[in-house]
C-alpha cells in the first residue's frame, strides 16, 4: 500500500512537472505556431495557385513546381546562392574560430571581444548601405585607398565578377564576430586540465588545437555551421540594398528571385513554390549536417 501511494504521488508530481514544462514552452510554441507553422502551411497552399495579389487565386495544382523545373532563372539563382554559401561559410567559420582561439589563448580582454562582436550589432541593411558607399567604384573610400597604394580601382559590387564575392565579404564582416563569440563560449566549456596534461606530455599549441580543442568544440561547431548555413541560403538584405540582384544577374540569389516574383512580377503562387522548395532543401541539408557532425553528442562524455 505505501508503495502504491508513493507511486501515485510520483505520477502526480510528474504530471505537474510536465504541465509546468509545457507552460514554459508555451510562449515559444504559440509564437512558432502563429508566425512560422501557419505561414508555412499557407505558403504551401498559395504555391498551388496562380495568384497576382490583385485577384482571387486560381488553383493550378503542381503547375508552379513544373514551371520551376524548367526555369533557367531559378537554377541560375540556386547556383549563385550556392556560390555565396561556399564563399561565406568556410571564411566565416575559419575566421571566427581563429579569432575565438586567439582571444582565448592570448588576450582575454572584454573590450577585445566587444570589438569583435560590434559589426553584428549593426543591422544588415545599414552594414550593406555603408559598405555600398565605401565600395563605390568611383566615389568609394576603399578604391581611394587602393589607388593610393598603386592598385588600380576595382568594380566590387558593380562588377559581375566581383559582386558576389563582395556581398559574401560584407556578410562575413558582419557575422564573424558572432561566430567567434559562440566558439569562445564553447572553448570555456573545455576543461583546462586537458591542456595541462597535454602540455606535460610535450604537445605544442597546434597539436593541442587539433587533438583537444577541435574535437571538443564539435557540438558548437555543428551549431554554428548549421545555423550560418541556413542563414547563408537565405541571404537577402545585403543583396537588396547593395546590388538588387545585379549587375547582369550575378547576385540574383534565391530569396531575391522569390522577392522579385512575389512583389515585382506579382506572381505570388510561383514565389511561394520557390520558397517551399527552398524550405524543403534546407530541412534536408540540416538533417544531413546534424548526422555528419553528430551534433547531439560530445566527446567529453
Partner 1 sequence: MKEYLMGKRHLTGVLATATALTTLGSSFAWAEDVTLNYAMWDANQAPVYRQCADKFEAENPGIKINIKQDSWDNYWTTLSTSFVAGTAPDVFVNHLSRFPEFLANGVMDDLTDRIAADKVEMKAYLPGLAESWNKDDRQYGLPKDWDTIALIYNKKMVADAGISEEELKNLTWNPKDGGSLEKIVARLSVDQNGKRGDETGFDKSKVSVYGWATNTVDGYGQTQWSFLAVSDGFKPIDKPWGKQYGYDSPALAETLTWIRDLALKKGFALSQEQTGRLNATAIFAAGKAAIVPDGSWNISSYRDTSKAEFGFAPLPQGPDGRRSMFNGLSDSIWSGSQHKDEAWKWVKYLGGSECQTIVGKSGVVFPARPEAAKAAEEAHKAKGLDVSAFVQLATPETTFPFPISDRASEISAILTTAIENVLLGKGDPATILKEANDQANGML
For partner 1, the binding residues (CB under 8 A) are: 52-55, 132-133, 135-140, 152-153, 155-160, 242-244, 246-249, 260, 263-266
Return d(Cα 258, Cα 293) in angstroms, integer: 31
Return d(Cα 41, Cα 52) in angstroms, integer: 19
Please choose, from the candidates 291, 258, 211, the residue with its C-alpha nearest in 3D space to the C-alpha of residue 47: 258
Q: Looking at beta carbons only, is 176 or 243 nearer to partner 1?
A: 243
Is-contact 222 290, C-beta < 8 A? Answer: yes
Shortest Å distance, C-beta 67 to partner 1: 13
Please choose, from the candidates 111, 94, 91, 112, the residue with its C-alpha nearest in 3D space to the C-alpha of residue 103: 112
Q: How far is CA 299 from CA 170, 211, 225, 287, 294, in A?
A: 34, 11, 18, 20, 10
Shortest Å distance, C-beta 74 to partner 1: 13
Shortest Å distance, C-beta 128 to partner 1: 10
Q: How far is CA 15 from CA 4, 8, 9, 11, 203, in A?
A: 16, 10, 10, 6, 52
Q: Looking at beta carbons only, is 63 or 153 nearer to partner 1?
A: 153
Q: Looking at beta carbons only, is 34 or 244 nearer to partner 1?
A: 244
Q: Looking at beta carbons only, is 212 or 255 nearer to partner 1?
A: 255
Shortest Å distance, C-beta 145 to partner 1: 16
Shortest Å distance, C-beta 131 to partner 1: 11
Q: Looking at beta carbons only, is 32 or 265 nearer to partner 1?
A: 265
Please choose, from the candidates 47, 93, 238, 57, the residue with its C-alpha nearest in 3D space to the C-alpha of residue 156: 238
- Give the containing element (helix H, strand E) for 33: none
Q: Looking at beta carbons only, is 99 or 164 nearer to partner 1?
A: 164
Burial letters 259-270, b for 16+ CB under 10 A, else e:
bbbbeeeebbbb
Shortest Å distance, C-beta 27 to partner 1: 18
Amino acid at each position: 500500500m505505501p508503495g502504491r501511494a508513493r507511486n501515485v504521488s510520483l505520477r502526480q508530481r510528474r504530471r505537474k512537472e510536465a504541465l509546468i514544462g509545457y507552460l514554459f514552452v508555451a510562449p515559444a510554441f504559440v509564437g512558432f505556431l502563429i508566425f512560422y507553422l501557419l505561414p508555412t502551411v499557407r505558403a504551401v497552399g498559395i504555391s498551388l495557385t496562380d495568384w497576382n495579389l490583385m485577384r482571387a487565386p486560381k488553383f493550378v495544382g503542381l503547375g508552379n513546381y513544373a514551371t520551376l523545373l524548367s526555369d533557367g532563372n531559378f537554377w541560375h539563382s540556386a547556383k549563385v546562392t550556392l556560390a555565396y554559401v561556399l564563399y561565406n561559410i568556410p571564411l566565416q567559420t575559419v575566421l571566427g574560430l581563429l579569432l575565438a582561439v586567439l582571444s582565448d589563448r592570448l588576450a582575454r580582454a572584454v573590450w577585445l571581444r566587444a570589438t569583435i562582436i560590434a559589426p553584428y550589432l549593426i543591422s544588415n541593411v545599414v552594414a550593406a548601405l555603408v559598405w555600398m558607399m565605401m565600395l563605390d567604384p568611383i566615389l568609394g573610400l576603399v578604391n581611394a585607398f587602393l589607388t593610393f597604394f598603386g592598385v588600380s580601382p576595382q568594380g566590387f559590387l558593380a562588377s559581375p565578377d566581383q559582386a558576389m564575392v563582395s556581398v559574401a565579404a560584407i556578410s562575413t564582416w558582419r557575422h564573424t564576430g558572432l561566430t567567434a563569440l559562440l566558439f569562445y563560449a564553447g572553448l570555456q566549456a573545455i576543461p583546462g586540465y586537458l591542456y595541462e596534461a597535454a602540455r606535460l606530455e610535450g604537445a605544442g599549441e597546434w597539436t593541442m588545437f587539433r587533438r583537444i580543442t577541435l574535437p571538443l568544440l564539435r557540438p558548437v561547431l555543428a551549431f554554428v555551421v548549421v545555423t550560418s548555413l541556413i542563414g547563408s541560403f537565405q541571404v537577402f538584405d545585403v543583396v537588396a540594398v547593395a546590388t538588387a540582384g545585379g549587375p547582369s544577374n550575378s547576385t540574383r540569389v534565391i530569396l531575391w528571385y522569390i522577392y522579385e516574383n512575389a512583389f515585382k512580377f506579382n506572381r505570388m503562387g510561383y514565389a511561394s513554390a520557390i520558397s517551399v522548395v527552398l524550405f524543403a532543401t534546407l530541412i534536408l541539408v540540416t538533417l544531413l549536417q546534424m548526422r555528419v557532425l553528430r551534433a547531439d553528442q560530445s566527446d567529453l562524455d
